[in-house]
Structure 1
Amino acid sequence: MPRGLWLALAALWLGGCVNLPDELRYEPESALQSYGAVSQHPDAAKGQPVRWSGVIAANRVLVSQTELEVVLLPLKANGIPQQQEHSEGRFLVHLPGLLDPTLYAPGRSVTVLGTVAGEVAGKIGEQPYRFVLVQGTAHKLWPQVKDVEVRYVNACFEPLWPGPRPRPLP
């Protein structure tokens, strides 16, 4: 078979392995609004569907819902926020019920599905900030990423057999 056909088949096969969790699916995908478009005109986007992700910056437990302040990060194909050093901004999401603030702690990654509810004035530290407010209908709190220590071993200097290393010849 031609090489291009093999590459296309491999891409399709690997693409099937990267799926969005069911709770974050929305049809039609083309109806989902981008943060950039909504942040320019949040009142005009009221009621429009969004699927945004990021890192939790703060949480507040309200009477019948939980409010998360999220630093926006782009979505990977599987719905997980892509870690990077730049963000387009922040948004607030209201999710029904009590979400334990210890689990939904600052620094955790989250993806939310919901509708734009408008704009809310707030602050980041002492700076005034206009947050886009999302009324969440579904969300996914992603597992924490554990730091992994990676050690590289140069095989040229390691013996291929167990036991003591041979002594060099004089």
Structure 2
Amino acid sequence: MLVTFVLAIAGCSTLPKDLQVAEGAKLLNYQEVAAQPQQSSGGQVLWGGVIADVKNKADATVLEMVHYPIRSYGRPTTDDESVGRFRVYVDGFLDPMVYKPGRSLTVSGAVTGSEEGQVGEYKYQFPTLKANGYHLWKDVQEVEVSTMGYGYGPYPYNWWGWHMWPYHERVIIRSKSKGYVDGPLPNRAPQSSNSPAPKKVTR
């Protein structure tokens, strides 16, 4: 069991193939690029977030992203506060019915500078990237599991001895990409405030 657990942890720490970066590559964080977008041009990044908007152009797709930190295996986590937004240019066509607002995405690419846009009526300066690779994360949902357990003792009966009993376990794996709220906030990304709190796991 211990070996299995260690292998599972190691597997969870591995980035998807489409996000792999060169070993030893220096990756810039969002704050560095937002502070000096032109000086950061050409620098490599590995950023994640939630899609806020999708625009299909003649030869590329522009994704507007709300930035969130990523876990060791690359998936964005919205447990933390966002520090801002950015735009990603992806060669070719991405279907907006698939890459739609609210979905979690991680992208590797190169900084190309910044461009001015708007969030609502607020003027916003977006750091911009040219994507080298990207990974759209699947939505996850609550599942329920019923299984059998066994033990020695009075539960669930009033006599001692070996016996088996069914028990019910609810496992909740909830996507934090839902509940995205748009709105003009100076130099901050709108926060997700509508997602229900995680339910307690019961057995």
Question: Aligning the two structures, in what range does the TM-score lie when normalised by the shorter sequence?
Answer: 0.7 to 0.9
CA-atom RMSD in angstroms: 2.8
Are 2:91 and 1:96 equivalent residues in the alignment?
Answer: yes
Are 2:111 and 1:116 equivalent residues in the alignment?
Answer: yes
SS in 1 for 2:114: strand
Aligned to 1:142: 137
Percent identical pairs in the alignment equals 34
Q: Which has the higher helix share?
A: 1
Q: Deviations over 1:38-88 (max 9, x none)?
A: 110000000111110000000000110000000001010110001225101
SS in 2 for 1:46: coil
Matches of 1:93 and 1:158, distance apart in 2: 57
Matches of 1:149 and 1:157, distance apart in 2: 26
SS in 1 for 2:49: strand
Structure 1 position 17, deviation (Å): 1.9
Change beyond 3 A, Cα 1:161–1:128: closer
**Which amino acid counterpart does residue 10 of structure 2 have in structure 1?**
G
Structure 1 position 100, deviation (Å): 0.1
Q: How many residues align?
A: 152
SS in 2 for 1:23: helix
Aligned to 1:167: none
In structure 1, runs of 5+ residues without a counterpart are 1-6, 163-170
Q: Deviations over 1:96-149 (max 9, x none)?
A: 110000000000000001100001000000000000000111100111122x26
Q: Rg bigger for which structure?
A: 1
In structure 2, runs of 5+ residues without a counterpart are 146-153, 158-163, 167-203
Matches of 2:156 and 2:115, distance apart in 1: 61
TM-score by length of structure 1 reads: 0.79
Contact 2:51 2:99 in 1 (8 A): yes
Change beyond 3 A, Cα 1:150–1:14: closer
Change beyond 3 A, Cα 1:10–1:33: farther
